[in-house]
Structure 1
Amino acid sequence: MQTTSAINSYITFGLGEEKFALPVSFVQEIVEVDKVTKIPNAPEFMLGIINLRGRILPLLDTRLKLGLPKSETTKKSRILVLDIEVSDKSIQIGALVDVAKEVVEISAADIQDAPDFDNYNAKTPITGVRNNQGDITLIMDINKVFSASDILQLNKVIN
């Protein structure tokens, strides 16, 4: 359990039946899914690229990066435009989620440590768990989901 009582803003989103959150500071905007251009020989988790008001962004499937089964894009699906830190610079990517929910304020005191078993914490992108009267939200470290090596691999594909 963390001891600080700082309150931070998180964006919550759904992947299947699970609810996730990540700090708002990583999210530049949330957009609807539009035309996706497929890229030959791209990694499986890369759905393609999107044109966001003249900027070309790689679009990644958050489900696949978390080891969840692929699903169909629906009217509720959204793209989180994220800033990922790679080699002392910020790179923007699009992360596909099933549904963007809301921005919530969560006190650090309300976040429990992620379960720790068989070196699980070293590998998981989940840094904590918020239990709000049985409504579980998994707090995510976006830099562990989309690692620097993933981003560098994507840059080679699209550049």
Structure 2
Amino acid sequence: MTIGTVVTFSMNDALFALPVARVQEILDARTIAPLPNAPDYLLGLIDVRGASVAVVDLRRLMGEPPREDTQDTRIIVFHAGDGPDGFVAALRTDRVIEVAELDEAPAGEVPISDRLQWRARIVEEIGRREGAFVSVLDSGRLLAQPAAAAAIEPLGAAT
């Protein structure tokens, strides 16, 4: 059984994905205007076709140390949430890999380290691509609503 079409991206050796239907566009790294007093994983704002879009750093959100941009760094602009609570946000990633169909990974196949390391609140499901596990992120929970964007705690600061 397949999960569907997703955009896959990476951080270190971990693979992630967002449903392709949620992705608006993928941008090269660019200057991000910082926001005063924002959490460290909320990098700031970029202009996307005249709209101000908040950029979240996947590395910092996951409790990883920051990293300088490389030629592979990308910003994924995506739709978060639905209806009146929906908005456009962006996620800075180490590298975008491809648009692909993911196979579903039965729960018993998911390594325990993946279950413990990535909080379920932002992982919609686990898929497989060419033998590798891929955590499909829930775009609606990554940033539940505009007001919550500044209140999300990094995953490394588990409660």
**TM tier relative to shorter chain:** 0.7 to 0.9
Q: Which runs of 4+ in 1 moved over 6 A?
A: none
Hey, what does 2:13 align to over in structure 1? 17
- Are residue 37 (structure 1) and residue 36 (structure 2) matched? no
Normalised by the length of structure 1, the TM-score is 0.76
CA contact (8 A) 1:32 1:78 kept: yes
Unpaired segments ≥5 residues, structure 1: none
Question: In structure 2, how many angstroms separate the alpha carbons of the residues matched to 1:35 and 1:121?
Answer: 30
Instruction: Please tell me the root mean square deviation across aligned C-alpha atoms, in Å.
Output: 2.9
Give identity over the alignment, percent: 26
Q: Give the CA deviation at 1:131.
A: 3.7
Distance 1:42 1:146 in 2: 14
The question of whether the paired residues in 1 share the 8 Å contact of 2:102 and 2:128 is answered with no
Distance 1:70 1:92, change over 3 A: same
**Residues 5-154 of structure 1: pairs in structure 2 closer than 5 A:** 5=1, 8-85=4-81, 88-107=84-103, 110-113=104-107, 123-124=119-120, 125-132=122-129, 134-148=131-145, 151-154=146-149
Contact 1:112 1:128 survives alignment (8 Å): no
Alignment partners' CA distance in 1, 2:62 and 2:55:
15
What TM-score results when the alignment is normalised by the length of structure 2?
A: 0.76
Aligned twin of 2:154: none
Give 3-state SS (helix, strand or coil) of 2:86's partner.
strand
- Return the alpha-carbon distance in structure 2 between the equivalents of residues 19 and 122 of structure 1: 11
Q: Assess if the C-alpha contact under 8 Å between 1:27 and 1:80 holds in 2.
A: yes
Distance 1:21 1:122 in 2: 13
Larger radius of gyration: 1
CA-to-aligned-CA distance 1:126-145 (integer Å, 9 cap, x gap): 23333445422222222233
Output the CA distance in 2 between the equivalents of 1:47 and 1:132: 30
How much has 1:102 moved relative to structure 2?
Answer: 0.5
**Cα distance, 1:121 vs structure 2:** 10
- Distance change >3 Å, CA 54–CA 88, structure 1 → 2: closer
Q: Structure 2: how far apart are the matches of 1:121 and 1:47?
A: 23
Unpaired segments of 5 or more residues in structure 2?
A: 151-159
